[in-house]
Amino acid sequence: MAAETGLLNAVVTGIVTGSIVALGATGLALVYDIAEVPNFAHGDLLTLGAYAALLVNKPDTVPLFDVLATGSQQVGAAGAAVLFVLSAAGVLGTVYHLGGVPALKGRWWGIDAPDGVALGVHAALAALVGAGVVLGAPSFEAALLFSFVLLGAIVPLLESLIFRKFREKDVELALMLIVSLAVAFVVRFGIQTIFGGEIRFYTVETTLPFLGGQLDVTLAKFFDFFVVDDGLIVSIQETRTEASRQLLVMDYSWLELGAVVVAAVALAAAAYRWRRGSAAVIGPRLAAVGASTVVVALGVAAFWSGANGTVPDASILSTRIRTSPLRLGIIALAASMMAALHYLLQATTLGTAMRATSDNRRLAMVRGINTRQVMMSVWIISGLFAAIGGVMLGFLFSSITINLGFNLLLAMFAGVILGGISVYGAILGSYIVGLAMEVGIFAIPGLSATYRIPVAFVVLLLVLLVKPEGIVGGS
């Protein structure tokens, strides 16, 4: 058995914390950078997303909606109809924000399409999402989907009903900050009025089939790494009280690891050439697709070829990391959301318009860019990220409180400011903040978890003293 390494555990926990902070800070940075709103209500939007999921996951505990419940986590036909309508309305409302009725007729697609076809596609998508929520209830996945589409429609209302009115009057940034604080209090105490102030919990099936057995995604797992002459051996164990159960042992040779590294480097090089936009467009694209296929194929082959290894009696170097599949899943979910946003910003017409509006909103308007649509898109994305962040935050902490998102707001702003008030900077800054919060507590003896936020702000101040514009500010 490998010895546990506290620093590595703190780093892994910091990456998980950074992933949660990044999910919130990304939407915050978009709104701050493009819509010019220092949205102090963003933390409470995460809270709203967490509470919205309760309508699907635990409808019998939601005031007013509980009259439609027929049992524990069950609703009757009327309750299912309400969930279906709210979900479908969330999808159609999100599209409507992009340009009203013309948007529902496909004007935001960027291609010419018959009105009837566009309306049919949007209606079918809305019906599909509504059916997915109703048929999937009360599962955690259906609750996450419901919160996702609901906040995608609700959050842009803040722009159209409140912030746009003040922006059109060219108010000072300080006044916009006060307005966002007012919105924060309205959202927070609105949630408290409806749901009450008691602590709430999700009911989630955490046990999943795994290699012929059962795997609890919330229980801590021990990942042991052994460096031996022939390569790397990874062992995964689960410990309950004093009993320990071996889940999987993977044995990888240096040749297999080298092949995966080479393929990954080839993928990165192909992606870089694609990004550079060289004249031979087809070449970089084929290289990127080919390299991606090779990396995936090698990864799958290496996993299955090494899945039947054995724990060595001796090793050159060994270490142990303690984490859980839930925490690893949060990291993967955050990474996928960041990747999707990167694609949107760099490879779509909307992304180009968003970047142009960020650089100079008035010039973008003069050049014919629909800045109002850009603004609404920014708020929609902010709402979607807030929903994911809020629900995952409630699941990770195993409790939902009125201050759930507000308690993370300072960390999110720290990530945004540390990164230089840009989307990519906010992502990088969020992970630095997350690592500072967890590694700082580990590195400084005698500090309790209460000091996680102050430690992060000490790092923020030190960085800003050296580089006042932030890590990527001015780039």
Mean pLDDT along residues 108-133: 90
At 190, the amino acid letter reads: G
CA distance 221 to 236: 7
| Phi and psi angles of residue 472, each rounded to the nearest 5 degrees, phi first | -110, 10
Q: Domains plus CATH for the chain?
A: 6-58+138-204+325-466 (1.10.3470), 220-322 (no CATH)
Average pLDDT score over the chain: 84
Whole-angstrom distance, CA of residue 1 vs CA of residue 13: 22
Better-scored residue on pLDDT, 112 or 22 = 22
Q: What local confidence, expressed as pLDDT, does residue 278 receive?
A: 45
> How far is residue 270's CA from residue 222's CA, in Å, rounded to a whole number?
36
CA distances (Å), origin 167, targets 112, 144, 177, 376: 33, 32, 12, 14
Contacts of 468 (CB under 8 A, 6+ apart): none
Checking phi first, is residue 470 left (phi over 0); if not, alpha (psi -120 to 50) or beta?
A: left
Average of per-residue pLDDT across 237-259: 78
Please tell me the pTM assigned to this model. Answer: 0.85
How many Cβ atoms from other residues are within 10 Å of residue 306's Cβ? Answer: 20
What own/partner pairs with CB < 8 Å and gap ≥ 24 does 433-436 have? Answer: 433/17, 433/18, 433/21, 433/459, 433/460, 434/14, 434/15, 434/16, 434/17, 434/18, 434/19, 434/20, 434/21, 434/22, 435/11, 435/14, 435/15, 435/17, 435/18, 436/14
For the chain, the residue count is: 475
| Residue 21: closest CA among 322, 323, 436 | 436
Average pLDDT for 429-456: 82
Please give the Cα distance from 310 to 288 (Å, whole number).
36
Tell me the per-residue pLDDT of 92-118, one tens digit each, with 9 for 90 and over: 999 999 888 998 988 888 778 888 999
Question: What are residue 46's phi and psi, to 5 degrees?
Answer: -60, -40
Angle, CA 420 vertex, CA 419 and CA 426 arms, to 5°: 40
> What pLDDT, on the 0 to 100 scale, is given for residue 207?
79
**DSSP-H helix ranges across 307-397:** 325-347, 349-359, 361-366, 371-397
pLDDT band at 286 (very low <50, low <70, confident <90, very high): low
- Model confidence band, residue 211 (pLDDT cutoffs 50, 70, 90): low
User: For 370-419, how does the pLDDT look when each residue is reduced to its tens digit (9 = 90+)?
Assistant: 888 888 999 999 999 999 999 999 988 888 999 998 888 888 988 898 88
Sequence-distant (≥ 6) Cβ neighbours of residue 343 within 8 angstroms: 351
pLDDT band at 120 (very low <50, low <70, confident <90, very high): very high
Sign of CA dihedral 234, 237, 242, 243: negative
